[in-house]
Amino acid sequence: MADLASILLPNLDAKMLLISLALCTLLGVYFYFRGVLDKLASIIAAALGFFLIGYSDMFWFLLLLLFLIISYTVTMWNFNKKSENGSAQGKKGERGVNNVLANGIIPLAIAILSGPLDHVASGLPGFMFITALSVAAADTFASEIGIMAKRPRLITDPRQVVEPGVDGGVSLLGNLSATFGSLLIAFFGYQLITDKWLASSSHTLAANWWLIPVIAILGFVGCQIDSILGATLQSRGYLSNDSVNLITILIGAFLAIPVYLLFF
């Protein structure tokens, strides 16, 4: 009869379990003291990372870690100006537990379900994983950099100029930033998640360079869906910003399925 550890963390032997636990704990402590995450968010992020490694491997974890680092970097860009206009994330740029869960729970769910998903189509879970993080990155870049646009317009009514930071406001700067963020994750995902460097049960996604533009487009589309939800349900108080992010990432992951089956 399999022990509990092998059920909860199928890809970790005893040695890797200890290494993964130590690594995620140290990173959680580091991100807390660096002001990247608040205390509870650091604990949750460490747990998400630990279980992600357990259901995939270090390379999947590295992509999630890169997303966190890149997101924090753009969050801190022009932070003082963001603080002045009330659009800053946290008191010092730190992310809370809701933000960590909104951006990390879908990628973790994909890793947990990677076995059944891979039976649907070889490489599908890797494609969905990169796409989910690409959507999250596109939204983060659009929000944190696009907030500096002078005359954003409402996505549901492009004739209407809105204040920077208004839910559903879009701009050329924001869309260009979203494209760059999505491309960045798509590129690193291609390097880390495909079978380009490593062939294993966690790397069944074939290293086709077309993955990069296709995933980047999906990330950009996800960002536009986020803006539409922001202009409608969020602006009316039905959804919070974090719940919009969660729903958008989920939609992006589901959109990845027919795209992958059709093109790859």
Domain positions in the chain are 57-263
Per-residue pLDDT of 176-192, as tens digits, reads: 999 999 999 999 999 99
Q: What is the pLDDT of residue 107?
A: 96
Per-residue pLDDT of 153-166, as tens digits, reads: 999 988 898 888 88
Contact call for residues 262 and 186 (beta carbons, < 8 A): no
The pTM for the full model equals 0.91
Please state which of the ranges 12-16, 26-30, 50-54, 84-88 shows the lowest mean pLDDT: 84-88
Q: What is the pLDDT of residue 1?
A: 36
Burial 7-20 (b: 16+ CB within 10 A, else e): eebebbeeeebeeb
Per-residue pLDDT of 18-64, as tens digits, reads: 888 899 999 999 989 988 899 999 999 999 999 999 899 899 999 99
Per-residue pLDDT of 125-156, as tens digits, reads: 999 999 999 999 999 999 889 888 888 899 99
Cα–Cα distance between 259 and 121 in angstroms, integer?
Answer: 12
Neighbours of 27 (CB within 10 A): 20
Confidence bin at 246 (pLDDT 50/70/90):
very high
Confidence bin at 85 (pLDDT 50/70/90):
low
What region, left, alpha or beta, does residue 123 occupy, with left being phi > 0 and alpha being psi -120 to 50 degrees?
left
Q: Looking at the predicted structure, is the pLDDT value of residue 13 above 60? A: yes
Interhelix angle for 124-146 vs 58-76, to 10°? 10
